[in-house]
Homo-oligomer: A and B are copies of this chain.
């Protein structure tokens, strides 16, 4: 009998052979369109904040107020390496793979279906890094075939997303001066030139760095422009010195005729570092980012001798900055805390949202500042619209002047200079303390309720001035502090805030400080984590706690949700650390029972 061998290729084989079908092994490149539409494509999470507006909103609703009670872990992933501490990351998801940054400048690619580690990258850190607030990282960016993240030695690394191999690595500053990078970079597309750019800043204000925002070519890492956030410092464009930020004479910083620069010492080390992630307004082609606190914290070092702090705003610190992606020029600036004497900073996330006012659509930013006030600012021109408190018992200001947009300061709330012969100034009690009414942990905006959901804290501090002189690589504060409890029954308070009325719609108290990002979903569910290790779900309308799960270590990261194989998943990192246990005074005791950790958790509804 003669055998007939028939050579047949199935359509699936053919598709694979032609590279049409993709799986984790052959993941698609990420395009700008993918990133722009992130909030509308629930199968992936491609940027910090979930979309350029950073609303942390998802259209998914399989997990909803009715079903969330059944939410159950699908898998967990250990970061490993005998490295734990704070895990402040927000993961990305693309083509069935999670990209998760970990403490100590690590990045893991993990199969989103199984939790299996596909590759990991552990950045070789020098011994002399100077992270102010733990060895955290808040997330990666993704574009093309690469994932990007910042490292604690002031570098940014691009990795091949399939293999984890380094494609390029750029050191952007000297880490021994205090520069680090903890925030997630942002991918934007300059709507004028069509250039896709990687935008990132740095941390380091506690060491007297000059805060700078960078734009890079994501393919090569080459710098396109750099913009410093201390008035009078010069930017860079295409490798050349460009324009000064603001007035080259920097009138918002005192002169000092005895100084080689002609300005006070602080001006040369003035802070303003944009260490959180930038948001991007595609329509107006504007990068919007928070600028850090001025350095040093001691406001008298940024005020002329015997002068009035109100005359020296320490621009462009402790405010929100709009930057032109084509040139790196400042388009507008709105300052939350002029001559910030409290380390309030302006770094907290800028959420872009729209609302109707007398038939007009207002394009705004929303920002809950460490200073305790929630700001709505017109993002087309930087005009202040409204500001209101989102925490109790703010002592440093009674409100924001609706005409000028400047805080109405309370006298005696700037820590006074030491009396002659004294090394420390008189201690005053201030609220919020420098850790903020809310810190970096990003809020979410619900497109359904129109409310913002944020993890705030009720605490206060004793605050006093100290002598301060800049020493390279040393802390540059000029202020001492002790964080204290405000209430006996809670520190953390999860709140739903109406950006129109300024009303606190609901509050949910937590014993420990809240340091976790928030996620809002079409299912009417708000997700966030707690310092004592619970991942929790709340009813967006009532604030009722609907579900919780104990993850074993404290949660100080930001949740995400995505759809895979027809099911909705929710993911969050667990691992306690960050600024609170390091700087938190009374809080350090409160959080002492919380073990460190380092793991990622994925949840879904059971099928049965």
Contact = CB atoms under 8 A, between A and B. Distances in A.
A574 B599 CA distance: 12
Given A69-B608, A73-B72, A599-B597, A78 B115 contact: no
Interface stretch (A263-271, A391-399, A439-447, A550-558): A550-558
Interface in A567-608: 574-576, 593-600, 606, 608
A72 B116 CA distance: 19
A550 B73 CA distance: 9
A84 interface: yes
A606 B550 contact: no
B82 A596 contact: yes
A81 interface: yes
Given A82-B84, A606-B70, A76 B595 contact: no
A577 to B, nearest CB: 10
A79 B597 CA distance: 7
A260 interface: no
A355 interface: no
A552 B599 contact: yes
A101 to B, nearest CB: 15
A75 interface: yes
Interface string A252-295: 00000000000000000000000000000000000000000000
B550 A78 contact: no
A80 B549 contact: no
For chain A, give the interface size range: 35 or more
Contacts of A114: 550
A115 B550 contact: yes
Contacts of A552: 75-78, 115, 599-600
Contacts of A485: none
A78 B593 contact: no
A83 interface: yes
A551 B78 CA distance: 8
Contacts of A533: 78, 115
Interface in A45-95: 69-70, 72-85
A117 interface: yes
Interface string A89-105: 00000000000000000
Interface string A370-397: 0000000000000000000000000000
Centre residue among A74, A120, A553, A575 by max chain B CB count within 10 A: A553
Contact of A76 (B81, B550, B576, B593): B550
A532 B597 CA distance: 19
Contacts of A120: 595
B593 A116 contact: yes
Contact of A75 (B549, B594, B597, B598): B549
A587 to B, nearest CB: 17
Contact of A597 (B80, B550, B593): B80
A569 to B, nearest CB: 13
Nearest to A79: B595
Contacts of A79: 595
Nearest to A600: B552
A117 B593 contact: yes
Given A69-B608, A84-B80, A550 B595 contact: no
A120 to B, nearest CB: 8
A605 to B, nearest CB: 11
Given A76-B76, A82-B85, A549-B75, A599 B596 contact: no
A70 B72 CA distance: 10
A413 B582 CA distance: 59
Contact of A78 (B83, B574, B600): B574
Nearest to A69: B608
Contacts of A72: 72-73, 606
Contacts of A78: 84, 533, 551-553, 574-575, 595-599
Contacts of A117: 593-595
A83 B84 CA distance: 8
Contacts of A532: 116
Given A72-B606, A597-B599, 13 more contacts: A69-B608, A70-B606, A73-B549, A76-B76, A76-B550, A77-B550, A77-B552, A78-B551, A78-B574, A78-B598, A82-B596, A114-B550, A115-B550
Q: Which 10 A-B pairs have the closest CB atoms?
A: A80-B595, A78-B597, A75-B550, A78-B552, A76-B552, A78-B553, A80-B596, A115-B550, A82-B84, A73-B73
Interface of A: 69-70, 72-85, 114-117, 120, 532-533, 549-553, 574-576, 593-600, 606, 608
24 contacts: A70-B606, A70-B608, A72-B72, A75-B552, A76-B599, A77-B550, A77-B552, A77-B595, A78-B552, A78-B553, A78-B574, A78-B575, A78-B595, A78-B596, A78-B599, A79-B595, A80-B596, A81-B84, A81-B595, A82-B82, A115-B533, A115-B552, A120-B595, A606-B606
